[in-house]
Copies of this chain bind each other. A is one copy, B any other.
Amino acid sequence: MGRRRKFWGWGYEDEDLSREEKENLAALLAGRFGGAELTVTEPPALAEVRLRAPRVQPPASLRRLFTDDAYERAGHTYGKSYRDVVRAYRRDFSPAPDWVALPGTEEDVASVLAWAGEQEAVVIPYGGGSSVVGGIEAPPGEERPVVSLDLRQLNQVLEVDRTSRAARIQGGALGPDLEAQLKPHGLTLRHFPQSFELSTLGGWIATRSGGHFATLYTHIDDFVESLRVVTPAGVVETRRLPGDGSGPRADRLFLGSEGTLGVITEAWMRLQDRPIHRANLSAEFERLEDAVAACRAISQAGLYPSNCRLLDPNEALYNGAGDGTRTLLLVAFESADHALDAWIGRAAECCRDHGGAVPQEVGTRAGAEGAREGSAGAWRNAFIRMPYYRDAIAGMGVLNETFETACTWDRFEEFNSGVSAAVHSAMDTVGAGRGWLSLRFTHVYPDGPAPYYSVTGPATRGEEIEQWQVIKEAASNAILELGGTITHHHAVGRDHAPWYRREQAPLYLDSLRAMKKTLDPAGILNPGVLFS
Contact = CB atoms under 8 A, between A and B. Distances in A.
Contact of A445 (B243, B443, B490, B496): B243
A278 to B, nearest CB: 13
B443 A243 contact: yes
A311 interface: no
A247 interface: yes
A406 B244 contact: yes
Contact of A253 (B208, B225, B445, B508): B508
B242 A406 contact: yes
Q: Is the interface of A mostly helix, strand, loop or mixed?
A: loop
A447 interface: yes
A256 B250 contact: no
A532 B505 CA distance: 23
A507 B235 CA distance: 8
Contacts of A490: 245
A512 B250 CA distance: 9
Choose among A254, A304, A408 the residue with the greatest number of B CB atoms under 10 Å from its CB. A408
A300 interface: yes
A166 interface: yes
Choose among A301, A406, A492, A505 the residue with the greatest number of B CB atoms under 10 Å from its CB. A505
Given A337-B302, A505-B238, A253 B248 contact: yes
Interface stretch (A5-13, A95-103, A431-439, A513-521): A513-521
Contacts of A504: 246-247, 250
24 contacts: A164-B410, A164-B448, A166-B408, A225-B408, A235-B507, A236-B507, A239-B485, A241-B448, A242-B447, A243-B443, A243-B450, A246-B492, A246-B504, A247-B256, A247-B504, A248-B255, A248-B256, A248-B512, A253-B253, A303-B337, A337-B346, A338-B342, A514-B515, A514-B518
